[in-house]
Amino acid sequence: MKKKIKPIFLIVIIMTLLCGCSKKIDKTINENGVNTVTDEAYNKNSVQENNQTVNTDTAETVNNHINEKTYKLFMTSENNYVGDIMPLTDDKGIQLYYLFDTDHNGIGYHPIYKFSTSNLYNYSDDGLAIPYSNSSDDPDIAIGTGSFLLANGVYHCFYTGHNDSYPDKGLDKERIMHAISSDNKKWEKISKDTFQAPEEYSGDDFRDPFVFWNEEEKCYWMLVAARNDNLGGFIAKFTSSDLSKWTLKEPIYAPDKYYMMECPDLFKLGQKYYLFYSWNNVTYYAMSDSMNGPFTEPDNNVLDGQAFYAAKTTEYQGKRYLFGFINRKKDGNDTNNYSWAGNLCVYELGQNPDGTLTAKMPLQYMDYFKNKIDLPKASLIGNAGVAGTTAVIESDGENISGVDFGTLPNTMLLTCKVRIDKKGYGTGFSFGKTNKFENSLGIDLDSKKDLLRYDSCILNRMRFADPSVYSVFHFDEGVTYDVKLVVENDIIVLYMNDTKVLSNRIYKARGNKWGLFSIGGKTTFSDIQIYVP
């Protein structure tokens, strides 16, 4: 959870873009001058009765996919946004609790809502799980990230209580809180289990508890995002035998590198332990041979770019999945920076031979995109050609060549193989064409800088742009790579060689033309296949 900022600091915060796990919310003043909580309907338990299951079994025509406007893979609540995800696996499937965000929060904000799924493409919107308090005197007038676990038949939630008015009263702004449920529907807050930051820790930056049973040590662990002046941001550790009383231990990881290390998550995959944490629009990981560390960051410890945030994991049917959210942009404007909260996004994790992690498209998506369609008739720009399912695009100097495939389906999966025969200023996938091809926006396989990047930049200016949203990937000339591209409305996610991901939100893409491009180089796109639900 990112802290709510008072209005007098608004300009400072916008310019510094301190993107933690929440967003700035303004207080609402009623006609009597009293602070009120807006959108109270979103914070009532009755919302739990409004279950909606998304049915995705019916195949539709390509024209339907151009015109529809729903999210089935990248879930969100209608007219609202998905914040930090808190996943849990139980015998019913994957339970995806999340911070519920709107564009018009009051002094109370971010109740915890829930989706559930058993296949990652049919989701049930289960509504409200845990409301924030309706009293501005309570510690959880706003709620921040936490975690869920199932212990001895009881569901537990440990979450952040956040009250922006507390520092003015000499109280800590954040503290750890506890709620329980017997049926995963009705939750009871256990106020006696609330605790604050230890004296040497910051009381304003003490959040995002991650609780799990440590089988090796036969006790519960709680990891907390914390900080102090000596260590900067670090991940604190507490232990418990009863999920009620917690004992402070030495920090599990304190690299003295980040202001905060939000949304910690720890798991074992193969013979390695992995510790995830997030800060400033990026999710990182460190690794160790032991649960107790020492943890070290590999050279390339980011799996996606700056549009994907606050990611946490769960194991399901023998595989480890990483759940985060894809940010939105203010006013639906492609040139604006990413803002906190948006749509659910999930990747399947794997391992390289050296133990570093990989991220790829969940295999279940192939069950969703089950209808293969013909490659659209192409218009050619510059030195480009299409034969069957292969496109070869070449250009010299700063010239742009490309292939225009017409109007982008609103939902599709594209698979292909990409070989960069000669490195240039850029090559990849173009979106949002309304007039000239060179004014399209490009997702760039930047082989010169070894980046997957999207800079909200038109092709004609791409060579001048500094990387802004990117994921590191090493390219070699003449080597063929497997590429997948999933499109749903304004969300476009690139999966590169089953190892790296670049998630994007491109508002201009929807309803406009798309294609392939090359600037000053040569690229072969082969075995191009398109699938729709």
For 474-521, what is each residue's pLDDT tens digit?
Answer: 999 999 999 999 999 999 999 999 999 999 999 999 999 999 999 999
The answer, yes or no, to whether residue 4 has pLDDT greater than 90, is no
The answer, yes or no, to whether residue 63 has pLDDT greater than 50, is no
Q: The domain 7-366 belongs to what CATH superfamily? A: Glycosyl hydrolase domain; family 43 (2.115.10.20)
User: What's the rounded Cα separation, in Å, for the pair 498 and 483?
Assistant: 8
Q: Is 71 helix (H, G, I), strand (E, B) or coil?
A: coil
Instruction: Please report the pLDDT score of residue 1 as a whole number.
Output: 53
Please tell me the least confidently modeled range out of 140-154, 306-320, 347-361, 462-476: 462-476
User: Residue for token digits 């911070």?
Assistant: 99
Which overall architecture, per CATH, does domain 370-532 show?
A: Sandwich (2.60)
Please provide the DSSP assignment of 115-150 as one string.
EEESSSSSEEEEEEEEPPPS-TTSTTSEEEEEEEEE
For 265-321, what is each residue's pLDDT tens digit?
Answer: 999 999 999 999 999 999 999 999 999 999 999 999 999 999 999 999 999 999 999
User: What's the rounded Cα separation, in Å, for the pair 86 and 8?
Assistant: 32
Q: How many CB atoms lie within 10 A of CB 200?
A: 11
User: What's the rounded Cα separation, in Å, for the pair 201 and 173?
Assistant: 12
The arithmetic mean of pLDDT across residues 112-139, rounded, is: 97
Q: How many CB atoms lie within 10 A of CB 228?
A: 18
User: What's the rounded Cα separation, in Å, for the pair 504 and 324?
Assistant: 13
The answer, yes or no, to whether residue 461 has pLDDT greater than 70, is yes
Domain with CATH 2.60.120.560 in the chain: 370-532
User: What's the rounded Cα separation, in Å, for the pair 504 and 334?
Assistant: 10
Which tokens is 498 given?
């089953």
Mean of the per-residue pLDDT values of the chain? 90
Instruction: Work out the pLDDT band at 10, boundaries 50, 70, 90.
Output: very low
For 180-222, what is each residue's pLDDT tens digit?
Answer: 999 999 999 999 999 999 999 999 999 999 999 999 999 999 9
Please tell me the least confidently modeled range out of 49-63, 243-257, 498-512: 49-63
Percentage of the chain exceeding pLDDT 70: 88
For 378-402, what is each residue's pLDDT tens digit?
Answer: 999 999 999 999 999 999 989 999 9
Instruction: Work out the pLDDT band at 375, boundaries 50, 70, 90.
Output: very high
Instruction: Please report the pLDDT score of residue 117 as a whole number.
Output: 99
Burial 250-265 (b: 16+ CB within 10 A, else e): ebbbbbeebebbbbbb
Instruction: Please report the pLDDT score of residue 40 as a whole number.
Output: 58
Instruction: Please report the pLDDT score of residue 86 as a whole number.
Output: 99
Percentage of the chain exceeding pLDDT 90: 85
The answer, yes or no, to whether residue 64 has pLDDT greater than 70, is no
- Tell which wins on pLDDT, 225 or 19: 225
Q: Is 420 helix (H, G, I), strand (E, B) or coil?
A: strand
Instruction: Please report the pLDDT score of residue 394 as a whole number.
Output: 98
Instruction: Please report the pLDDT score of residue 230 as a whole number.
Output: 79
Element at 275 (helix H, strand E): strand 272-279
Instruction: Work out the pLDDT band at 231, boundaries 50, 70, 90.
Output: confident
Instruction: Please report the pLDDT score of residue 66 as a whole number.
Output: 45
Task: Tell me phi and psi for residue 382, to 5 degrees.
Answer: 70, -145
Domain with CATH 2.115.10.20 in the chain: 7-366
The answer, yes or no, to whether residue 67 has pLDDT greater than 60, is no
Instruction: Please report the pLDDT score of residue 43 as a whole number.
Output: 86
Instruction: Work out the pLDDT band at 533, boundaries 50, 70, 90.
Output: very high
Asked if residue 459 lies in contact with residue 513, where contact means CB atoms within 8 angstroms, the answer is no
The answer, yes or no, to whether residue 54 has pLDDT greater than 50, is no
Instruction: Please report the pLDDT score of residue 32 as a whole number.
Output: 30
User: What's the rounded Cα separation, in Å, for the pair 50 and 60?
Assistant: 27
Element at 13 (helix H, strand E): helix 10-16
The answer, yes or no, to whether residue 28 has pLDDT greater than 90, is no
Q: Is 111 helix (H, G, I), strand (E, B) or coil?
A: coil
- Tell which wins on pLDDT, 153 or 229: 153
The answer, yes or no, to whether residue 261 has pLDDT greater than 70, is yes
Most confident of 31-35, 103-107, 283-287: 283-287
